[in-house]
Amino acid sequence: MRLSRYFLPVLKENPAEAQIVSHRLMLRAGMIKQAQAGIYSWLPLGFKVLRKIENIVHEEQQRAGHIPLLMPTMQSADLWRESGRYDDYGEEMLRITDRHGRDMLFGPTNEELITDIFRSHVSSYRDLPLTLYQIQWKFRDEIRPRFGVMRGREFLMKDGYNFDMDYEAAMRAYDRHMVSYLRTYERMGLKAIPMRADSGPIGGEDTHEFLVLAETGESEVFYDSAITDLKLGDREVDFADAAQLRAICEEWTTPYARTDETHDEAKFNEIPEERRRSSRGIEVGQIFYFGTKYSEPLGASVQDAEGKKVDVHMGSHGIGVSRLLGAIIEASHDENGIIWPEGVTPFHVGLVNLKQGDEAADAACEQIYAALNIVGLEPLYDDRKERAGGKFATMDLIGLPWRITVGPRGLKNGVVELTSRRSGESEELPPEDAVKKLAEIYAPHLVKSL
Ligand code: ATP
Ligand code: MG
């Protein structure tokens, strides 16, 4: 992409309405625009990151054997009356009446709708286990929408639902989700810690929230610092191997890690003092097991091998896709702007031409631009007639992890400059070596389209 042709409405001034750094930087970098309280338009740069995050979520869900589908945002109130939640859900649910006087709602979550799909089409134990998921907009009429996309009213969520024959099978689904979530967040360059949590209005027995540590987080968390050293890295995970999944979950759930709702002071004090931590965290996902809470009232049962009807055991599992943009920025920025992890960056590299209009510099930039595209990378080429300082400031603000700087002086020696946004370190090297190096850096991060 050439910056002169792109739509990147960066702001020079700090927007007054933004209280936290991620919100401020998303507005300044031209990623989002508020449409109403808690409702945002996703401008091209923000939309690109949103799509990258979605792609990672899709890949990791499908790697775990979960099947994507798409349900509507608008739901019928009748279905929610069947589960008893239409009255229970409270003011966060946006209720609407259509022209025929029928009650509808903008879905805050989808347990009822998915259970209705299941009961209409599945009747035998042979069809289980089954996990279906979607990435779809949700609406919750939050009393205090704030912090930009972190607590919106309209927000994008991955929500997945498992259907299993019994408790043991449902717990295998639970483990599968936990491990797939760990992989998902790691690919986004995030450390998200699973913490034992409280089940809230969705209701359930076993539940973990995934929290990214950040001062601006809304949750208070308590944990053993040992948990922050854990990493999946590039270990091979076989999602069909229940024992391996259990072992990984054991590894992550053994060190103490809880939110304030389930915090147990006595247990916490058993941790060696130097490893006791309390801080704040951003909830970026949650997994639940809730048994037959919805299958029973909605009649979602299957016949077992003996022909006996059993209510299926279910769980639901959410990832805050749009909130993740804010969480990643909270975890990765400096005073000059965002620092995107390679896995989610909107463009892989910024190409800065120090002297637009100089024949040699223009030609070299064109060549590098083409070479980057050939190796499958997406450059953002700042081809505007601007001062170098202004170009650098824009690149730093929007946070591309790598920058190639091209100028007449370097070209005389056959080199360009490759700079890391994170470390600030630069090296001079021939243009083809810079391209090669970036291709290597990004090889593990290139998202295949599904
Ligand atoms: P919270 O406690 O933050 O209100 P929740 O526990 O009600 O969230 P879940 O039902 O667990 O939310 O939804 C799954 C995920 O969706 C959450 O882990 C969070 O990352 C995201 N999410 C929930 N509410 C919002 C919101 N208002 N804006 C953006 N993301 C949200
Ligand atoms: Mg939650």
Q: What confidence tier does 198 reach under pLDDT thresholds 50, 70, 90?
A: confident
Q: What confidence tier does 28 reach under pLDDT thresholds 50, 70, 90?
A: very high
362: in domain: yes
The number of the ligand nearest the C-alpha atom of 153 reads 1
Name the closest-CA residue to atom 26, ligand 1: 151
Residues 292 and 413 occupy one common structural domain: no
Distance CA 344, CA 355 (A): 30
Indicate whether 424 pLDDT > 70: yes
Segment 278-305 mean pLDDT: 95
For residue 297, give the nearest of 73, 88, 79, 125 by alpha carbon: 79
Residues 98 and 179 occupy one common structural domain: yes
Distance CA 174, CA 275 (A): 28
What is the position in ligand 1's atom list of the atom closest to the CA of 109? 10
* DSSP, res 200: G
What is the position in ligand 1's atom list of the atom closest to the CA of 159? 14
Residues 331 and 384 occupy one common structural domain: no
Give 450 Cα–ligand 2 centroid separation in angstroms. 27
Name the closest-CA residue to atom 19, ligand 1: 320
Name the closest-CA residue to atom 8, ligand 1: 283
Predicted confidence at residue 201, as pLDDT, reads 55
* 209-231 as b/e: b if 16+ CB within 10 A: bbbbbbebbebebbbbeebeebe
Q: Any idea what the Cα angle at residue 381 is, between residues 380 and 383, rounded to 5°? A: 145
Classify the C-alpha dihedral 384-388-394-400 as positive or negative. Answer: positive
Classify the C-alpha dihedral 94-100-102-107 as positive or negative. Answer: negative
Distance CA 250, CA 175 (A): 10
Distance CA 385, CA 1 (A): 16
Indicate whether 204 pLDDT > 80: no
Q: Which residues span the domain enclosing 376?
A: 349-446
Segment 101-124 mean pLDDT: 97
pLDDT digits (tens, 9 = 90+) for 238-269: 999 999 999 999 999 999 999 999 999 999 99
Contact call for residues 18 and 413 (beta carbons, < 8 A): no
Residue at which a domain ends, from 307, 338, 369: 338
Question: Whose structure tokens read 């759930």?
Answer: 253
Predicted confidence at residue 329, as pLDDT, reads 98
Name the closest-CA residue to atom 3, ligand 1: 283
Candidate from 22, 94, 149, 283 with most ligand 1 atoms within 8 A of CB, to mutate = 283
343: in domain: no
What is the position in ligand 1's atom list of the atom closest to the CA of 324? 20
Distance CA 47, CA 350 (A): 18
Contact call for residues 369 and 357 (beta carbons, < 8 A): no
Give 342 Cα–ligand 1 centroid separation in angstroms. 25
413: in domain: yes
What is the position in ligand 1's atom list of the atom closest to the CA of 145? 27
Candidate from 39, 286, 316 with most ligand 1 atoms within 8 A of CB, to mutate = 286
The percentage of the chain sitting over the pLDDT mark of 70, rounded to a whole number, equals 98
Q: Any idea what the Cα angle at residue 167 is, between residues 79 and 200, rounded to 5°? A: 50
Q: What confidence tier does 197 reach under pLDDT thresholds 50, 70, 90?
A: confident
242-253 vs 167-187: helix crossing angle, rounded to 10: 70
Mean of the per-residue pLDDT values of the chain: 96
Q: How many domains does the chain have?
A: 2
pLDDT digits (tens, 9 = 90+) for 352-389: 999 999 999 999 999 999 999 999 999 999 999 999 99
Q: What pTM does this model have?
A: 0.96
Q: How far is CA 177 from CA 206, 233, 286, 310, 368, in A?
A: 13, 17, 10, 24, 41
Which residues form the pocket of ligand 1, taking CB atoms under 6 Å from any ligand atom? 109, 140, 142, 151-152, 155, 157, 200, 283-286, 318, 320, 322-323
Give 181 Cα–ligand 2 centroid separation in angstroms. 14
Contact call for residues 286 and 207 (beta carbons, < 8 A): yes
Give 218 Cα–ligand 1 centroid separation in angstroms. 11
Residues 203 and 233 occupy one common structural domain: yes
Residues 256 and 361 occupy one common structural domain: no
Residue count of the chain: 450
Residue at which a domain ends, from 283, 313, 338: 338
Distance CA 199, CA 179 (A): 20
Beta strands 103-106 and 74-76: pairing type? antiparallel
344: in domain: no
Q: How many helices (H) does the chain have, and how many strands (E)?
A: 14, 23
Segment 49-77 mean pLDDT: 98
Residues 296 and 381 occupy one common structural domain: no
Residues 151 and 66 occupy one common structural domain: yes
Give 247 Cα–ligand 2 centroid separation in angstroms. 24
The percentage of the chain sitting over the pLDDT mark of 90, rounded to a whole number, equals 95
Contact call for residues 232 and 161 (beta carbons, < 8 A): no
What is the position in ligand 1's atom list of the atom closest to the CA of 284? 20
Segment 23-46 mean pLDDT: 98
Name the closest-CA residue to atom 31, ligand 1: 320
Which pairs count as long-range contacts for 30-33, CB under 8 Å and 24+ apart, including other chains? 30/398, 31/325, 32/148, 32/149
Give 204 Cα–ligand 2 centroid separation in angstroms. 12
Predicted confidence at residue 32, as pLDDT, reads 98
